[in-house]
Chains A and B, each alone.
Chain A
Amino acid sequence: MSTTSQELDQKQAVTALRRKDLLGIAELSPEEIELILDTADAMKEVGTRPIKKVPALRGKTVVNLFFEPSTRTRTSFEIAEKRLSADTLSIAIGTSSVVKGETLADTALNLEAMSPDMIVLRHASSGACHFLSRVCRSVIINAGDGMHEHPTQALLDAFTIRERKKKLAGLKVAIVGDLLHSRVLRSNIHLLTKLGADVWVCGPPTLIPTDIRRFGVTATSNVEDAVRDADVIMLLRIQLERMEGAYFPSLREYFRVFGMTEERMHLAKPDVMIMHPGPMNRGVEIASEVADGPYSVILDQVANGVAVRMAVLYLLAGGVEHEEAA
């Protein structure tokens, strides 16, 4: 049976995520987002202890299934899982030109036969996590699917902003870069608008997704307008190959027109936060002085990633038992 009047407290608290998987921010309510961020607060504290480990996910098996290379996100998830005492296994599948034959569905079903409780999936196809959640009984956590969403990135971005600014409502957040191909963009747009921020997105017209204004953001190709009086500036990576799709003529030109230089940064508020999900292309979307300067919180983002991912893992871990409950 349960313990003490502690139980009574839990019943009054905002209850946990009402879902089996974390496939994207689009489906989350603002309350669920706040719950994750609040839980991440508590998890961050675990990282300051001498023994950075709690038994919350003891006996649970978590598989990190990465179809796209990623050191940062994968390591972050691994550390988060280990801090919760889960048994973790990371599988890095080679790029599609190397791996032929076995489909995502078959890879997952083979895995599932070994009963992992949770699968953290990164894949090059948008919708891969939705697809997997229909195929697998395990809890699915989206670590980035194609151009669709990267929910834990947006959550750690929000956590980082909240740490400094205490709230997101009313902040002007400018997101600059390759908007069209960015899953970080979509997740951030959903999250920031749900929590009441004023979101501006900026890039060359060739890289602005169709109908982006229907998401409740202001879209512009004028970077000065975008960053003027901004509280937060998020830079998105420009993939070097984009020139081949004729999205813009050259990296040099991109940097001249859109690159975040100190000059442009100073159009923002004096306590502006400079963010980047990484990895950065210095001299393309962001000048080195800005990346390394005092306004940059890029390293904080990385540190917060572990706490946020611990929160997500913890909140979803109960889901394995709850399948019938909903």
Chain B
Amino acid sequence: MKRLLKGGRVVDPANGIDGVHDVLIEDGRIARVGRDLPVDDATVVEIPSGLVVCPGLIDMHVHLREPGQEHKETVASGVASAVAGGFTAVACMPNTTPVNDNANVTLLILAKAAEAKLAHVYPIGAVSKGSKGELLADIAELKQAGCVAITDDGHPVATALLMRRALEYAGMFGMPVIEHCEDPSLKGDGVAHEGFHASALGLRGIPGAAEALGVERGVLLSELTGSAFHVAHMSARASLRAVRKGKEAGVRVTCEVAPHHFTLTDEALGSPIPYDTNTKMNPPLREAADRDAMLAGIVDGTVDVIATDHAPHHYDEKKVEFDRAPFGIVGLETAVPLSIDRLVHSGLIRLPRLVELLSTAPARILRVPGGSLSPGSPADITILAPDLKVRIRASQLRSRSKNTPFDGWELRGGVAATIVHGRTVYTNPEVATTL
């Protein structure tokens, strides 16, 4: 089965490519990338001008909620949402019910993903049994079953000692430890960023320092152990500062930022909808200086990855008083429009850098296939439409849950098609192509 994607602008920063090229796909793999490739017996797909062909996007922070919380999302609905958002692969978090701290849950997730035949799913296993922060989980078993990293996401690893052990042990397999960085005592029962807006609205605050403390701990322990440490959903400028210092000192620390943390601030708590529970997540939307720091980190390279922290919650769960609502918003289908509109069209970065953030770097950090269009790589390809006018409509998201603060937003930048293993798994009806 040969397909030739002809005449599109190919952006593959891992191979230094940015220009009009053809991409030959054969048996689910990239065969060749070059100019004016011979057609032979390949099916030709003309790439309309204006679209961009890049290595498949990878979201390394997604909550698929299965097993146990299927009312919010399932693996099947999650990967459907992912490919609609342009992602060819997602890494899913272990805070399911039961927690993914053993091979059975990992294999269940992988089986569901295989059934759905849409995006690749790379499970992330728990650091500790039940994520309770007491005993290490059977990490080798998790690795063997298919996990690519470990985390106790939802909360930080309970003690510095346990984090140290996890880093040392996981390092044996080359698996990064991903951390929800937070000092629980400083976070307390906070529900919003500690700042002017929380003060005005009477909401208990979570200072940026609560996150930064967790980052500093991780950086020090990564230095101590020599193992890879990845900061999940970074939001505070003090955290960025700690990551930057760690990198300068040669520590193996990486970090990710979610689109809501580089587009929104805590002003959203009060306006346009006061106490909108779709502005409640952890870490919270922070003040402008923090949002600007995240943008600066994206520009100067301190930030490695954009990951959504896609956290579906059922409508009923979010339709309550702010204090009672669970933290989190969905993100798979809003990431690309927000990133292209707010980062590329605003002139902050160019497309190759965006592809690094959304594909090359996550593949490298998780050590999974993809992230580039090198010959031999799986043919996981995202075709972007950077000039497409997109209007976010929560009701039309493919995720089971619609908890997003971006409903009604008009952005420029979308997905034209998503190809996994050479097979087109999603096409955007508004781009009117036969991709």
What is A's interface to B at a CB cutoff of 8 Å? 26, 103-105, 123-128, 130-131, 134, 145-149, 183, 186, 209-212, 214-215
B275 near A131 with CB under 8 A, answer yes
Contact partner of B200 (CB less than 8 A), chosen from A26, A124, A125, is: A26
Query: Within the assembled complex, what's the spacing in Å between the Cα atoms of A130 and B269?
Result: 12
The 8 A CB mask of B181-206 against A (1 = contact, 0 = none) is 00000000000001110111111110
Flag if B202 contacts A183 (CB, 8 Å): yes
Across the interface, which residues of A come within 8 angstroms of B320, CB to CB? 103-105, 131
B202 x A210 contact (CB < 8 A): no
Cβ A186 vs Cβ B200 within 8 A: yes
Chain B contact residues, CB within 8 Å of chain A? 194-196, 198-205, 273-275, 319-324
On whether the beta carbons of B199 and A211 are closer than 8 Å, the reply is yes
Residues on the B chain within 8 Å of A146, using CB? 202, 323
**Contacts A126-B201, A210-B205 given; does A105 touch B319 at CB 8 Å:** yes
Name the one of A104, A127, A215 contacting B274, with C-beta atoms under 8 angstroms. A127
A208 (CB) vs chain B CBs: closest residue: B199
With A and B bound together, what is the CA distance between A104 and B324 in angstroms? 10
User: Of all chain B residues, which has the CB nearest A149?
Assistant: B202
Contact partner of B321 among A131, A147, A211, A215, CB < 8 A?
A: A131
The answer for the CA separation of A130 and B270 in the assembled complex, in Å, is 10
Q: Contacts of B324 on A, CB cut-off 8 Å?
A: 125
Query: With A125-B322, A126-B322, A127-B321 known to touch, is A186 a contact of B198 (CB < 8 Å)?
Result: no
Partner of A210, one of B195, B273, B322: B195
For A26, what are the chain B residues with a Cβ–Cβ distance below 8 Å?
200
Cα A26 to Cα B200 in complex, Å, equals 9
Q: Do the beta carbons of A126 and B195 come within 8 Å of each other?
A: no
Return the chain A residue nearest B323 by Cβ. A125
Alpha-carbon distance between A149 and B320 when the two chains are bound, in angstroms: 18
Within 8 Å CB of A127, what residues of B?
201-203, 274-275, 321-323
Residue in B closest to A105 when the chains form the complex, CB atoms = B319
| Beyond A125-B324, A147-B202, A209-B199, 16 additional pairs, beta carbon < 8 A | A105-B319, A123-B321, A126-B202, A126-B203, A126-B322, A126-B323, A127-B201, A127-B203, A130-B275, A131-B275, A210-B196, A210-B199, A210-B205, A211-B195, A211-B196, A215-B200
Interchain CB contact under 8 A, B274 and A130 = yes
Q: How far is the CB of B119 from chain A (nearest CB, A)?
A: 35
Q: When chains A and B are docked, how far (Å) is the Cα of A147 from the Cα of B198?
A: 10
Contact A214 B196 (CB under 8 A): yes
CB-CB under 8 A for A210 and B194, given A26-B200, A148-B202: yes
Q: Which residue of A lies closest to B207 (CB)?
A: A210
Closest residue to B287 on the A side, CB-wise? A211
Asked whether A148 lies within 8 Å of B195 as measured between CB atoms, the reply is no
Complex contacts, B202 vs chain A, CB 8 Å = 126-127, 145-149, 183, 186
Taking the closest CB of chain A, its distance from the CB of B171, in whole angstroms, is: 38
Residues of A within 8 A of B204 (CB): 147
User: What is the CA–CA distance of A209 and B192 in the complex, to the nearest angstrom?
Assistant: 13
By a CB distance below 8 angstroms, the chain A residues around B319 are: 103, 105
- Chain B residues closer than 8 Å to A149, beta-carbon distance: 202
Rounded to whole Å, the gap between the CB of B189 and the closest CB of chain A is: 10
Q: List 30 A-B contacts (CB under 8 A).
A: A26-B200, A104-B320, A105-B319, A105-B320, A123-B321, A125-B322, A126-B203, A126-B275, A126-B322, A127-B203, A127-B274, A127-B323, A131-B275, A131-B320, A131-B321, A131-B322, A134-B273, A145-B202, A146-B323, A147-B202, A147-B203, A148-B202, A149-B202, A183-B202, A210-B194, A210-B195, A210-B198, A210-B205, A211-B195, A214-B196
Interface hub of B198, B200, B319 (most chain A Cβ within 10 A): B200
The minimal Cβ–Cβ distance linking B266 to chain A, given in whole angstroms, is 11
Residue of B nearest to A189 (CB): B200
Closest beta carbon of chain B to A184's beta carbon, Å:
11
Which B residue's beta carbon lies closest to that of A126?
Answer: B202
**Contacting pair B194 A148 (CB below 8 A):** no
5 tightest Cβ-Cβ pairs between the two chains A and B: A127-B275, A148-B202, A147-B202, A125-B321, A126-B202
